[in-house]
Every structure is written in structure tokens, then in C-alpha cells.
Amino acid sequence: MSAPLLEVRNLEVRARNAAGQEVPIVRDASFTLAKGEVLALIGESGSGKTTIALALLGYAKPGCRIAGGSIRLGETDVLGLSKSALRDFRGRRVSYVAQSAAASFNPSLTIMAQVTEMAMLHGIGSAAEAEKRAIALFRALALPDPTRIGARYPHQVSGGQLQRLMAAMALIAEPELVVLDEPTTALDVTTQIEVLRAFKQVVKGSGVSAVYVSHDLAVVAQMADRILVLRNGEMQEIGPTGEILAAPKHPYTQSLLAAAAPTPRGAAAAPEAPPLLEVRGLTAGYGRIDAQGNPTLPVLRDIDFTIRRGSSLGVIGESGSGKSTLARVIAGLLPAARGEVMLDGAALPPALARRTPAQLRRIQLVFQSADTALNPRASVASILGRPIEFFHGVKGAARDARVKRLLDLVQLPASVADRQPGALSGGQKQRVNLARALAAEPDLILCDEVTSALDTVVGAAILDLMDGLRRELGLSTMFISHDLHTVRSVCDEVMVLYAGERVEAGSRRAIQEAPWHPYTNLLISSVPELRQGWLERRGSVRGPEAAAGARPACAFFARCGLAMPGLCDVTPPPRRTLAKAAEILCHRDEAALMQASIPAGP
Amino acid sequence: MIRRLSPAGLLGLLILAFWVAMAVFGAAVAPHAAGRIVDMEVFLPVSADYPLGTDYLGRDMLSRVLHGTRYTVGVALGAALIASGSGLMLGMCAAVWGGMVDGAISRALDTLISIPSKMFALVVVAAFGSSVPVLILMAGIIYTPGAYRIARSLAVSVNAQDFVTVARARGEGTLYLVRAEILPNIIGPVLADFGLRFVYIVLLLAGMSFLGLGVQPPNADWGSLVRENMAGLHEAAPAVLMPAFAIASLTIGVNLAIDVLGGGRREGDGH
């Protein structure tokens, strides 16, 4: 093998902690990368994967310092470069693609100006040449309308497109190495697939080397030639992708693999318990409500479902499908325009202000991001103590005892009570978030993407905890997620939302069996599988951007592989009950759907 | 927090503490009564007997400045409390209630902000005469819209966060939302804004007094001290410079102290 393009030796990065001491956050990292190779850095948050990735650009986050070791890119000693040499080096020879493209683009400049900026900055060719190269990259990244997309502003393109444009920005100056930092983590599965495909094509096509940072093994399996597993800043294992996936040597890698393939939790089927929450013909949205009870901007249309006592309903859909709005409507934060929500057979008033404290107590919300869901200026004790006081009128020592019991219930030490949320880890914060909902002693908990901000292993622990609590306390849950894996592993029943409509609903068993509604089919087949070559075999996907424009009778019409023009876009799809006891909203009959669910042959 | 004080911040706090102490004890520590003529010579320079010289009637300038502190600092403090307090309450309520209430409060205060502050002050004094309560109330009203705008925009962004939504879904009342969820998260910038309002009000009152519309004789705040001793300007008398210097030192001191408040808060916010 020829000399490697990148060689990292004994890299050590130190950070200053709250007490002012320097502690190593990356220790003794050594690896090499050949030209055209893709190396994945994988690990939980705090494993040092992003820190290593940034060090490759000769950069350390504020408060951190590259303390030792060497990084060589070709003939260049990266850590020995002066400040001005680093400016030339970054972007020109190594470039970076960040997780959130939306935050990385300047909203007031056109896309073309920002994509070509790097080339202009490094003085590579004229503006016209840079634009030509940008258009070629847009084409290679399979962006729609490559010649004109550059004239748009960042808010005028979709999230998936923006992420690809970010890759174009990174590649414009033809660097030797590109660092991709969780570039698809924030995307929906159906969007992710096209972005991954585009990245892979461009990386293979241009012969650039890449370092791909991710916590998702299945994604990494599609992208990387080799995988480096990190934990707490130390290398655990490095090897070719196939070997790591098939025969992981290190126990930590084995546990990561185990967490990526979730085990089913909870009861297999919903017990014949009485219904707790019934929702009938629910329509909700924003803006003025007309005489027929339709809001100007409808978000949810005619939703029906039932949650039985002690069971769990999963709600899945991509962003914009109305799943979070559903939780807000049930909680009373957004009054429904039409339809009814019944708790234990009694209709709930649509608006929050008209509900009684007892009704409010019985339904609790848990939000996705524990960072914004917990008051940063309040102690954990007061965050948990307030609902106890508010709903149960318990004060003083009795309240403190209950707080302690709650912390115990979510498996947190009692010492956490005096701390503020800022001093807790992500997983701990999510447990406090959950404990606050439990403090009210509710019957129903609405969980909005509670694990999507967490690492796989931490998220799995939260799911286990929730499942245990559900059985222990007889709680019902509504579990909102964009992650099919999560929903399938924790829920007894699953409801699929698309553009505010319930396109499929059935038991967990039903959702695992064909046939499906075409959209469910798309969702299921878009989740990356933990084997190499899956991405290549997976056919092309029509992402959400395909459905722009006027809304046809069936909202999924533009993206549907089975659409029948003249019928699907004109007549609203009927509700159909399949043999697997699931209800779908589709014109196609069961046989046709079954045929479409069988994956195309090789 | 004290450990992390910058030298400039410390200086600001010292100046502020000194003037606040003088506002309280100034009359007691002043060597002479405010109105007593101590020397037949007017506009005397700095001397051991009269550390800040004498004024246009031969009164001790040090005593005059110390007696005036109470009016300048007291009126400004009262007015700043009214302005920031009402601005904060209205701003938080507007953010929590939203919709029509927010619109009504915002437009009403926008109307007030469209009147030039000096003009408004002159009209009020012309209508009601000049007395300390009128001055405090007038300055408080003038600076309410600015404080409201800051508090409202801070509160709106906190109000949109999930922890406030959770409290609202629990059925909490406005008072709890404002007091426990929103206020602790905006208090840092609001305090910094309070300091700024204080400085503006000191300058407005000094201006009013300079025009003869502020605190009325025989009492005098620093602005009126500057005005009454204008004749000494060509003699370079300390009598005209010292009250001006007192105004400058107070405003600079408060500004330095504000930076400490704002900065200290920001550091505490880390992560």
C-alpha cells in the first residue's frame, strides 16, 4: 500500500472542566486513511468523535486544546501550521460538513454566493469557473434544477437539499479530505436516503477521502470502508466495515450493535382493556375556522384512534406530518377545530382553559428536547416539586419525600435534586423530564420524540425505563417519533400520519407484515439496514420535495409508486381494512399493495 | 461572582456605592447646611476650608453637592424603578397573553414612545408644576416603553420554550408563569437594562434642572447646581465643574457596574 493520505498519531486533546483542571477528552488516537477511502468515527456523545474530526482541520473547540500527537495530511504537518497557513489549509485541503445545514447557511445570501465563496476565498479560478464547477456538483449531488438552484436563498430549498448543498460547498475547492459530521442525523429517513446516496456518489466519483462521523451504525455501514469505534475519548476497535459488523471483537462494539437492533418490549398485543382516550374525527390547524369547522391551514384532518388503558400507541410520520400538533391538540394547547377527544368516555373541552385541573392532571406531555423542556434556572427539586404541589396539594417534607421517590422511579440518585438542569447529562435530563410528567400521576403520557436527541444506548435505556413504568404504574402512552425502529419496539399499536391524515393504523404485529399503505411501505424500506450494500440495492425515493404544490385528493399522490392518475388525484381515497386487521387510506386493493411490498428482485 | 470582577467593574460598583451612601447620609456628613452662606467671596477656588470651593452666593459647594445627591440619585432611582418595573410586568404579561392584549399594550406604548421625551417632560411640568413626585412619575412614564420592549422581546423567546408550554399545559396561572418560569430566565438582561434606564433618567433630570424645570430652589439637584453657577464658567470656578463631574462619575460608574451584571450573568449561563 502506498503512503497514506492522512496519518494521525497519538493524538491527545485536552479540555478545561468546570473546576479549571485540564482533562484529556481524546487520548492516544492513531489511525491512517488512504486516498479515496472513507473512515467512519462512531460512538456516543462524549466519545470524542467530533473532537477528533475537528482536530483534522487543526481546530479545537473553545476551551479545548490539542495537547499532543501529530496529524499529517500528505506532506503537511497540520498541527505545525501557522495561523495564516491554517486559513489556506482549511477549506482548500480539508473541508467540513456540519450536522445542521440550516444553521450553517447565511439566510440573506443566495446559495450560489455561499457555495462558491470557498473557491473565491482561496483564489481558485474566476467566479464563472467556480459557478460552473458548482453547477456540476449540484448535478452530481442529484439536486433538482441544478442550473437555477444557485439563485435561490437557503429558506427556499428543503432540509435534505440544503444538506447536499453544504456538501457542494465543502467540495468546491477540491479538497483532499472532507470531514462529514453527522450530516444526516437531523433528516427524515426518506430524505436521508437520497442525501446518503448523493454523498456516496460524489465521494466515490471525485476520489476524495472522507471521515464520516456518526452514531448510527446502519448509516455508517452504507458509507464507510472502515470503522473506528470510540468511547470516552479512547479508541476501542478499528477495522474494515464488514468485519466490524459481522464479527465485532470489542464488547463495546457488540453492545452498540445490540442497541442498533432493538428488542421488542411490552405486551405483544393490546389487552382487552377499556379505552382510555378516544379521538373521533379530529380536525385541527392554524388560522381562522370557517363555518364547516375547517381552519385556514389544516394540519390534522379527520383523525380517529383509541388508546386503551395500559397500552401504548406509536405515531409516526416525517416532519410536517402533524404528529406534534396531535399531541398539542390532545393536551389542549391547540384547540381542535372539529371532532372530539374523550377521556374515559367523557368529552374533553377542546381548549386548555376550560379543562378542570383533574382533567389536566390525567394527561401529561413530555417533550423531545430536555434542554428546552426544563427551566434552566430551577433546581430539579423545584421542577419536580411544583406539579406535586399543584395537583396534589402536598407541601414541605412530604413533597420532598415524593420528589425523592420520583427520582428513584426514574433511576436517578437523590443528590440530583439540588442541581440545575445544566449540570446534568442529556440522558439524566430526559429522565427528569419524564419524572415531571410522572409527578402528576397521570393516566396518559404524550411523548414527543423523547429519544431522538439521545444516543442509541442512552435512548434504549430510556425506552426500557418507560416500558417498565408503563407496566408498573398501568400508564398509557402515546409515543410520537419519526423513527420506525423505536415505535415498533415500544408500541402495541401504530398509527402512520402523512400530511395530517391517518394513512395507516394497526397493531404492532400488523405493521410488521405486508401489505402496507404505499407511504408506510416507503417509510419501512427507507430505514437503513445494518448490512453493507443496502443503499445501492435500495431503489430511488421520492422525497417530500416531490409533493410540493397544490394538494391532490390523496396527499401522497405525487410520491406514490402506485398512484393512478385520474383517480388518486381527484377522488379522496377510501378507508380500507386489510386482512392483517389494519386500516389504510388508499384506492389500491390488498393484492396490488401486497405485490408492491415484495422487494424487487436482484 | 465577586471573584471574577474586572477592575473596571469593581471601580463602577465602588463609585455607585459611594453615591448611594451619599444619597442616604449626604446631609449628615456635609460640613454645612445646604443653604448657609459661609463666605462673602463667591466662586472661591478649591481650598482646605471649602474642598470644592464656593458657589455664586458664597455657599459651600461640597455641602451643596452632597445635599443634591439625594435628589439626583433618589429621583432617578424611583423613576427607573417605575419604568423598569412597569415595563417588565407589562412585557411579561404581553408575552404570556399574546394576541390582542399584546397588540393593545404594544401599540399604546408605541404611541408614548413617539412623543419626544424632553417635550413630554416640558408639557407635564408646565401642566402640573414641578415637584419631586411629578418628576419621578414623569420620568418613569417616559422610560417605560423602552423597558417594556426589551422585557417583552426577552419574555417572548422564553415563553416559546417547552418548559413554559409544559407549565401552561398543567393549567398554571399567569402569575406563576411570569414569576417562576419567565422572570428567572430574563432577569440578567433586565437588570442591565435597569442600569441603563437609570443613567438616561439622571441625564434627563439634569437637563430639566438645567432648564430650571427640575428640582426647585431652595433644594437643588446636580443639574440645577450647574445652572445656578453658570456665571462662574469664565472664572473656571469649581462650582460649575464639580456638579457636572458628579453627574459624569455617576453615569460612568453605573455603566461600568452594568457591564459586571450583564457579563456575570452571561458567564453563569455557560452551556
Asked if A448 and A366 touch (Cβ cutoff 8 Å), the reply is yes
Binary contact (B166, A369; C-beta < 8 A):
no
Give the minimum alpha-carbon distance from B262 to chain A in angstroms, rounded to a whole number. 16
Confidence of residue A579 (pLDDT cuts 50, 70, 90): confident
Rounded to a whole number, what is the distance in angstroms from the first to the last CA of chain A? Answer: 34
What single DSSP character describes residue A575? Answer: E
User: Mean pLDDT, to the nearest integer, of A29-47?
Assistant: 88
Binary contact (A422, B166; C-beta < 8 A):
no
Helix B183-210 and helix B117-128, axial crossing angle in degrees, nearest 10 = 70
Binary contact (A367, B170; C-beta < 8 A):
no
Binary contact (A367, B166; C-beta < 8 A):
yes
Q: How many Å is the Cα radius of gyration of chain B?
A: 22
Give the minimum alpha-carbon distance from A435 to chain B in angstroms, rounded to a whole number. 13
C-alpha cell at A487: 415505535
Give the minimum alpha-carbon distance from A486 to chain B in angstroms, rounded to a whole number. 23
Asked if A513 and A580 touch (Cβ cutoff 8 Å), the reply is yes
Asked if B79 and B112 touch (Cβ cutoff 8 Å), the reply is no
Question: Amino acid identity, residue B13?
Answer: L
Which of A357, A373, A387 lies at the smallest CB-CB distance from B162? A373
Q: Which of A64, A366, A375, A383 to mutate to test the interface with B (most CBs of B within 10 A)?
A: A375
CA separation for the pair A434, A410 (Å, rounded):
8
Give the minimum alpha-carbon distance from B142 to chain A in angstroms, rounded to a whole number. 32
Name every chain A residue with its beta carbon within 8 A of the beta carbon of B180: 375, 378, 386
A294-323 confidence digits (pLDDT tens): 888 888 989 999 998 888 899 998 888 888
Residue of A nearest to B183 (CA): A377
Name every chain B residue with its beta carbon within 8 A of the beta carbon of A352: 168-169, 171
Task: Count other C-beta atoms under 10 Å from residue A28's C-beta.
Answer: 14
Binary contact (B163, A390; C-beta < 8 A):
no
What single DSSP character describes residue A375? Answer: -
Residue of B nearest to A333 (CA): B169
Average pLDDT in chain B: 85
Give the minimum alpha-carbon distance from B258 to chain A in angstroms, rounded to a whole number. 21
Res A174: pLDDT? 86
| Nearest-5° Cα angle at B51, B49 to B52 | 130
Query: Cis ω on the peptide bond leading into residue A528 (within 30° of 0)?
Result: no
A503-517 confidence digits (pLDDT tens): 999 888 888 887 888
* CA A15 from centre of chain: 28
* CA A171 from centre of chain: 25
Binary contact (A373, B166; C-beta < 8 A):
yes
- Detail the DSSP E strand segments found in A193-274: 209-214, 226-231, 234-240
CA separation for the pair A316, A323 (Å, rounded):
7
Helices (H), B160-236: 162-169, 174-176, 183-210, 222-228
The backbone torsions φ and ψ at residue B138, rounded to the nearest 5 degrees and listed phi first, read -65, -50
Res A380: pLDDT? 93
Residues of A with CB under 8 A from a CB of B: 331-333, 352, 355, 357, 360, 364-365, 367-369, 372-378, 386-387, 390-391, 422, 436, 440
Res A205: pLDDT? 84
CA separation for the pair B238, B244 (Å, rounded):
10
Which of B163, B170, B269 lies at the smallest CB-CB distance from A360? B170
C-alpha cell at A60: 479545537
CA separation for the pair A564, A533 (Å, rounded):
32
Name every chain A residue with its beta carbon within 8 A of the beta carbon of B161: 372-373
Please report, for residues A233, A370, B23, B163, the alpha-carbon distance to residue B166 in angstroms, rounded to integers and kept in the order given: 36, 12, 46, 5
Whether residue B268 has pLDDT greater than 50: no
Binary contact (B170, A372; C-beta < 8 A):
no
Q: Minimal CA–CA distance to A47: which of A16, A26, A17?
A: A26
Helices (H), A180-306: 189-206, 217-223, 241-246, 251-260
Q: Which of B157, B166, B190 to mutate to test the interface with A (most CBs of A within 10 A)?
A: B166
Reported as half-sphere exposure (CB side, CA atoms, 13 A), residue A388 has a value of 23
Res B43: pLDDT? 79
Res A265: pLDDT? 65
Binary contact (A352, B181; C-beta < 8 A):
no
Give the minimum alpha-carbon distance from B110 to chain A in angstroms, rounded to a whole number. 26
Q: Minimal CA–CA distance to A176: which of A149, A216, A152, A209?
A: A209
Reported as half-sphere exposure (CB side, CA atoms, 13 A), residue A578 has a value of 27
Question: Amino acid identity, residue A160?
Answer: G
Q: What is the ipTM of this complex?
A: 0.77
Res B269: pLDDT? 39
Confidence of residue A270 (pLDDT cuts 50, 70, 90): low
Which of A352, A378, A422 lies at the smallest CB-CB distance from B169? A352
Name every chain B residue with its beta carbon within 8 A of the beta carbon of A360: 169-171
Which of B161, B181, B271 lies at the smallest CB-CB distance from A372? B161
User: Mean pLDDT, to the nearest integer, of A165-189?
Assistant: 86
- Detail the DSSP E strand segments found in A357-471: 363-366, 444-448
Reported as half-sphere exposure (CB side, CA atoms, 13 A), residue A330 has a value of 32
**For the ranges A136-145, A156-165, A325-334, A467-476, the one whose mean pLDDT is highest:** A325-334
What single DSSP character describes residue B35? Answer: T
The H or E element spanning position A286 is strand A275-289
Res A313: pLDDT? 92
Binary contact (A377, B184; C-beta < 8 A):
yes
Asked if A8 and A56 touch (Cβ cutoff 8 Å), the reply is yes
CA separation for the pair A152, A365 (Å, rounded):
38
Task: Count other C-beta atoms under 10 Å from residue A13's C-beta.
Answer: 23
Residue of A nearest to B173 (CA): A353
Greater confidence (B212 vs A224) lies with: A224
- The DSSP bridge partners found for residue A295 are A289
Give the minimum alpha-carbon distance from B161 to chain A in angstroms, rounded to a whole number. 6
Residue of B nearest to A423 (CA): B271
Whether residue A146 has pLDDT greater than 70: yes
CA separation for the pair A19, B208 (Å, rounded):
51
Confidence of residue B261 (pLDDT cuts 50, 70, 90): low
Average pLDDT in chain A: 86
User: Mean pLDDT, to the nearest integer, of A29-33?
Assistant: 91
Res B192: pLDDT? 86
Q: Minimal CA–CA distance to B50: which of B64, B68, B36, B62?
A: B62
Task: Count other C-beta atoms under 10 Å from residue A273's C-beta.
Answer: 13
| Per-residue exposure over A350-388, b if at least 16 CB sit within 10 Å of its own CB, e if not | bebeebeeebbbbbbbbbbbbbbbbbbbbbbbebbbbbb
Alpha-carbon dihedral A411, A414, A420, A422, rounded to 10 degrees: -40
Whether residue A464 has pLDDT greater than 90: no
Binary contact (B169, A333; C-beta < 8 A):
yes
Beta strands A312-316 and A476-481 are parallel
Greater confidence (B221 vs A227) lies with: A227
Residue of A nearest to B177 (CA): A375
The H or E element spanning position A405 is helix A396-409
Give the minimum alpha-carbon distance from A487 to chain B in angstroms, rounded to a whole number. 23
CA separation for the pair A54, A63 (Å, rounded):
14
Res A163: pLDDT? 87
Q: What percent of chain B has pLDDT over 70?
A: 94
Binary contact (A375, B171; C-beta < 8 A):
no
Res A271: pLDDT? 62
Asked if A535 and A200 touch (Cβ cutoff 8 Å), the reply is yes
- The DSSP bridge partners found for residue A42 are A214, A229
Residue of B nearest to A376 (CA): B185
Residue with cell 485540564: A22
CA separation for the pair A107, A88 (Å, rounded):
25
CA separation for the pair A93, A77 (Å, rounded):
12
Residues of B with CB under 8 A from a CB of A: 161-163, 165-172, 180-181, 184-185, 269, 271
Asked if A330 and A363 touch (Cβ cutoff 8 Å), the reply is yes
C-alpha cell at A473: 404504574
Residue of B nearest to A387 (CA): B170
- The DSSP bridge partners found for residue A90 are A94
B65-100 confidence digits (pLDDT tens): 888 888 888 889 899 999 999 999 999 999 999 889
A403-439 confidence digits (pLDDT tens): 999 999 888 998 889 988 888 888 888 889 999 999 9
Give the minimum alpha-carbon distance from B148 to chain A in angstroms, rounded to a whole number. 22
Helix and strand counts by DSSP (H, E) for chain B: 11, 0
Res B262: pLDDT? 57
Domains of chain B, CATH where assigned: 12-20+53-268 (1.10.3720.10)
Name every chain A residue with its beta carbon within 8 A of the beta carbon of B266: none
Burial of A600 (0-12, 13-18, 19+ CB in 10 A): exposed
Residue with cell 408550554: B165
What single DSSP character describes residue A78? Answer: G
Domains of chain A, CATH where assigned: 6-260 (3.40.50.300), 275-450+459-480 (3.40.50.300), 519-597 (no CATH)
Q: How many contacts (CB atoms, under 8 Å) link A and B?
A: 51
CA separation for the pair A86, A90 (Å, rounded):
6
Confidence of residue A330 (pLDDT cuts 50, 70, 90): very high
| Nearest-5° Cα angle at B41, B36 to B42 | 75
Name every chain A residue with its beta carbon within 8 A of the beta carbon of B165: 333, 365, 367
C-alpha cell at A434: 419524564
Q: Which of A328, A366, A371, A372 to mutate to test the interface with B (most CBs of B within 10 A)?
A: A372
| Sign of torsion over alpha carbons B163, B169, B171, B174 | positive
Res A48: pLDDT? 85
The backbone torsions φ and ψ at residue A347, rounded to the nearest 5 degrees and listed phi first, read -65, 135
Give the minimum alpha-carbon distance from A360 to chain B in angstroms, rounded to a whole number. 6
Record the pTM: 0.79
Q: Minimal CA–CA distance to B135: which of B219, B245, B20, B30?
A: B219
User: Mean pLDDT, to the nearest integer, of B107-115?
Assistant: 91
C-alpha cell at A330: 390532545
Binary contact (B169, A378; C-beta < 8 A):
no
Which of A375, A387, A391 lies at the smallest CB-CB distance from B181? A375
Task: Count other C-beta atoms under 10 Å from residue A191's C-beta.
Answer: 23
B127-159 confidence digits (pLDDT tens): 998 888 999 999 999 999 999 999 999 999 999
